[in-house]
Amino acid sequence: MDQFRRIQTGKKGDIHLVLLKDKKILDDTVLDEIRTELTQLIGKASGPDMLLDFANVEFMSSAMLGLLGQLHRKITKGQGRLKMCGIRPEILTVFKITNLDKLFSIHKDAPTALATFT
């Protein structure tokens, strides 16, 4: 059932629900594994809807933003929607400094975010 090490996945309708398992996303190995697993999850599906939940994440390197950028481009290219939720204030700062809080669709928690997929 639990085929991934770094992410926990589920589905609500057509929306992929992805929970990042790690508390710390700091070193490159973890980052590469998350990237690989997300790629595996999306597979060849063109532009799926996805909700990425950061509730577990306490520390995150700015390199993670690059990964989110890749994911965002991939999903939006296929007319899909990527939304994020559960981001702690400390981590949200990183999004704000880089203005990426304006690029990404960021919501307080999963229910709030899910309500915006209409």
Partner 1 sequence: MAQAPEGIVAAANATGVDVLIAEDSRIQAKMLQKRLLDAGHTVRWGENGALALALARERRPDIIVSDIEMPEMTGYEFCKAVKTDPALRTVPFILLSTLSDPIDIIRGLDAGADNYVTKPYEPDYLLGRMESLLATPLAAADDSGDAMLEVTLAGQKFRVRAGRQQVLNLLVSTFENAVSKNQELVVANQELSVARDDLQKSNEELTTLNAEISRINAHMVRDLKAAAKVQRSLLPADDVEIPATSIAWKYVPCQSLAGDFLNVFPLDDEHAGLFVVDVSGHGVPSSLMAVTVGRFLTPKVSDSSLLVRQATDGRVSVVPPAEVATQLNKIFQADEFSGLYFTLLYGVLHLPTGRFDYCSGGHPALVRVPASGGDVEFHTTESFPIAFVPDVEYSQSSLQLAPGDRLFLYSDGVPEAMDKDRNPYGDDAMAACIAASRAASIDVGVSTLLEAVENWCVPNGPLDDVSILGVEWRP
Q: Binding residues for partner 1, per CB under 8 A?
A: 26, 28, 35, 59, 61-63, 65-67, 69-70, 73, 90, 94, 97-100, 102-103
Count CA atoms closer than 13 A to 71's CA, side-chain side. Answer: 30
- Smallest separation, CB 84 to partner 1 (Å): 15
Q: Quick one: 5 or 24, whose CB is closer to partner 1? A: 24
Pairing status of strand 105-107 against strand 15-20:
unpaired
- Cβ neighbourhood burial of 41 (10 Å; 0-12, 13-18, 19+): middle
- Smallest separation, CB 111 to partner 1 (Å): 29
